């Protein structure tokens, strides 16, 4: 039998992270905007009881949080003081810390990797020194307050490089000299991580549905024998495609490069509706995968399916990003809390990596509502029944009072009148006792 050395290397990589993950996958949430949302009036609940969003997520099984750090933020959030405070809050709940360094004053992703303004005119050598110092100082600040990170991302979605144009790759920058510069910057960051802590180093790209693109990036860096421990990828199915593409990326990266692969960013809609007037990038029927409807249970089923393709860890991006009274959101239909701030079944699916008693099965729900949430100006919502049901549909408010009834007439599709009902959360019950929440919003 021919021995597969790539498999051995990959297994050794998994064993090396076991002390940090306590032999369990990391069940993570990027909650970098939580403090600003709270200042904006966001309220989070579990079973209608108001609570701390971090504690609610932790009680649903999450064991880690990911925190973003900008160099000199142009807005209040994502600076060192805010990141340190969120780290303290997470540590108080025994949540592990993943530090996500953007090396920019603002968002860094495949479309933009702007240098911090303080570094704009630095030489390549001085830029490497600055990367080292910034990385080292951030880790030491976390460590000195008793919240050391277990993983440090040296850059965010650096598929096209970092610190443009010095470390830019791809397109007209896809030349050996640019890869040399990128490798030098990443080596400086890695040395800082090693000098400052025992944290693991993650290289993060966005190619969750592009096996060739993922191989292009790591293949070009392979000759440099960079010091890193983990590969992080982003996978958003509405941008990156179906599960089979994602699965192929994970398999190829682990086999070729011998590193554990983490799904470090993902999200899925629980509704195609919206709460506020901030434009949402996700909201069309084509943004939803077959068999995973944009419902709370469809979102949970999607998350459970992810665990079939990745075992190292999953980090959900911005589960707290609901629309607050003084803070708009373009992500509220992708959060793990509904429009009222109530935690959704997706949180326990992320935290448990397997169905729990509080989750619905992955099979299609016998009942679906559209639109849901519905605006109170609408006179009706559409009900679809998987199996035609004869009898009476009942609507209950949060006090358990029946506020509406309607006969189904033994059809699959029924129009339910909601005229006159105030805003709030309701429960729609069909014959056979199946129920589903209905949200009426202003």
In a domain, 360, yes or no: no
**Pseudo-torsion of CA 19, 93, 55, 320, nearest 10°?**
-70
Are both 174 and 305 inside the same structural domain? yes
First to last CA, the chain: 66
Number of domains in the chain: 2
Do 127 and 168 lie in a common domain? yes
Note whether residue 102 is domain-resident.
Answer: yes
Please tell me the distance from the alpha carbon of residue 226 to that of residue 403, in angstroms, as a whole number: 64
Instruction: Give dist(CA 59, CA 22) in Å, integer.
Output: 18
Instruction: Mark whether 381 and 251 lie in a shared domain.
Output: no
Cα dist. 99→52, 106, 141, 241 in Å? 21, 16, 12, 27
Same domain membership, residue 175 and residue 86:
yes
> Does 91 share its domain with 134?
yes
User: 283: closest CA among 206, 360, 370, 214?
Assistant: 370
Stated as kind and residue range, the H or E segment containing 232 is: strand 230-234
Q: With H, G, I as helix, E, B as strand and everything else as coil, classify residue 336.
A: coil
Cβ proximity of 66 and 29 under 8 Å: yes
Q: Please give the C-alpha separations between residue 326 and each of 38, 252, 375, in angstroms, as whole numbers.
A: 9, 44, 20
List all residues 6 or more positions away from 172 whose beta carbon is below 8 Å from its beta carbon.
none
- Cis link prior to 132 (omega < 30° from 0)? no
Domain termination site, one of 352, 386, 405: 352
Residue 387 lies in a domain: yes
Active site positions, annotated:
157, 265
Q: How many CB atoms lie within 10 A of CB 253?
A: 23
Residue 357 lies in a domain: no
Q: Residue 275: give its domain's CATH number.
A: 3.20.20.80
- pLDDT of the residue at 419: 82
User: Is residue 262 domain-shared with residue 113, that is, in the same domain?
Assistant: yes
217 in any annotated domain: yes
Co-location of 415 and 304 in the same domain: no
Structure token digits, residue 178 = 């640019």
CB neighbour list of residue 169: distance below 8 Å, 6 or more residues apart: 160, 161, 178, 179, 182, 217, 220
Does the predicted model carry a pTM greater than 0.75? yes
Q: How far apart are CA 315 and CA 266, in angstroms?
A: 7
Single out the residue in 329, 352, 375 at which a domain terminates.
352
What does the radius of gyration of the chain's CA atoms come to, in whole angstroms?
23
- State the residue range of the domain holding 293: 5-352
**pLDDT for position 400:** 66
Cβ pair 202, 230 in contact under 8 A: yes
Query: Residue 396: how many CA atoms within 13 Å on its side-chain side?
Result: 13
Q: Work out the angle between the directed axes of helices 124-144 and 80-92 (0-180°, nearest 10).
A: 40
Q: Which pLDDT belongs to residue 17?
A: 47
381/323 same-domain check: no
Handedness of CA 150, 126, 114, 171 (dihedral sign): negative
Rounded Cα–Cα distance for residues 45 and 335 (Å):
13
User: Residue 430 is part of a domain; what is its CATH number?
Assistant: 2.60.40.1930
Q: Please tell me whether residues 287 and 415 are part of one structural domain.
A: no
The reply to whether 124 and 254 lie within a common domain is: yes
- pLDDT score at 378: 64
Whether residues 337 and 380 fall in one domain:
no
Per-residue pLDDT of 128-161, as tens digits, reads 999 999 999 999 999 999 999 999 999 999 999 9
Note whether residue 84 is domain-resident.
Answer: yes
Residue at 361 is within a domain: no
Tell me if 358 is assigned to some domain: no
Whether residues 27 and 121 fall in one domain = yes
Q: CB count, 10 Å around CB of 112?
A: 11
β-strands 367-370, 380-385 pairing: antiparallel
Domain stop point among 290, 324, 352: 352
pLDDT, position 410: 66
The alpha carbon of residue 230 and the mean position of all alpha carbons in its chain are separated, in whole angstroms, by 18
pLDDT by residue, tens only, the chain of 442 residues? 333 434 334 444 444 444 344 447 899 999 999 999 999 999 999 999 999 999 999 999 999 999 999 999 987 779 999 999 999 999 999 999 999 999 999 999 999 999 999 999 999 999 999 999 999 999 999 999 999 999 999 999 999 999 999 999 999 999 999 999 999 999 999 999 999 999 999 999 999 999 999 999 999 999 999 999 999 999 999 999 999 999 999 999 999 999 999 999 999 999 999 999 899 999 999 999 999 999 999 999 999 999 999 989 999 999 999 999 999 999 999 999 999 999 999 999 999 844 333 333 344 455 677 777 777 666 677 777 666 656 778 887 766 678 888 876 566 677 888 888 887 777 787 766 566 777 777 6
């Amino acid at each position: 039998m021919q021995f597969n050395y790539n498999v051995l290397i990959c297994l050794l990589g998994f064993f090396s992270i076991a002390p940090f993950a306590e032999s369990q996958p990391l069940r993570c949430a990027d909650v970098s905007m939580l403090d600003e949302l709270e200042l904006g009036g966001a309220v989070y609940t579990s079973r209608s009881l108001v609570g701390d969003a971090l504690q609610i997520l932790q009680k649903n099984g999450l064991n880690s949080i990911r925190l973003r750090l900008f160099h000199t933020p142009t807005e209040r959030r994502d600076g060192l003081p805010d990141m340190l405070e969120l780290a303290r809050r997470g540590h108080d709940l025994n949540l592990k810390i993943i530090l996500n360094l953007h090396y920019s004053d603002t968002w860094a992703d495949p479309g933009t990797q702007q240098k911090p303004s303080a570094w704009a005119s630095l030489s390549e050598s001085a830029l490497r020194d600055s990367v080292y110092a910034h990385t080292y100082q951030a880790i030491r600040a976390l460590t000195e307050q008793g919240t050391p990170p277990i993983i440090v991302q040296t850059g965010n979605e650096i598929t096209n490089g970092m610190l443009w144009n010095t470390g830019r790759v791809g397109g007209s920058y896809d030349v050996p000299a640019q890869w040399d510069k990128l490798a030098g910057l990443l080596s400086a960051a890695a040395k800082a991580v090693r000098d400052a802590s025992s944290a693991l180093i993650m290289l993060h790209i966005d190619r969750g549905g592009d096996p060739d693109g993922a191989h292009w990036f790591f293949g070009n860096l392979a000759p440099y024998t960079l010091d890193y421990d983990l590969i992080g990828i982003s996978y958003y199915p509405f941008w990156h495609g179906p599960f089979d593409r994602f699965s192929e990326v994970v398999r190829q990266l682990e086999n070729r490069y011998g590193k554990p692969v983490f799904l470090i960013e993902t999200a899925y809609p629980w509704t195609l509706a919206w709460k506020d007037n901030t434009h949402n990038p996700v909201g069309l029927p084509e943004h939803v995968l077959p068999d995973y409807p944009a419902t709370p249970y469809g979102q949970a089923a999607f998350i459970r399916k992810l665990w079939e393709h990745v075992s190292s860890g999953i980090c959900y991006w911005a589960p707290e990003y609901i629309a607050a009274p003084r803070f708009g959101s373009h992500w509220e239909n992708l959060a793990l809390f509904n429009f009222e701030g109530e935690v959704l079944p997706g949180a326990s699916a992320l935290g448990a990596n397997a169905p729990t008693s509080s989750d619905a099965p992955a099979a299609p729900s016998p009942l679906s509502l559209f639109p849901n949430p519905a605006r109170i100006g609408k006179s009706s919502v559409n009900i679809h029944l998987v199996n035609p049901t004869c009898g009476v549909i009942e609507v209950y408010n949060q006090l358990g009072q029946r506020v509406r009834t309607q006969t189904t007439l033994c059809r699959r599709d029924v129009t339910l009148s909601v005229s006159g009902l105030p805003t709030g959360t309701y429960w729609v019950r069909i014959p056979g006792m199946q129920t589903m929440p209905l949200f009426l919003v202003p």
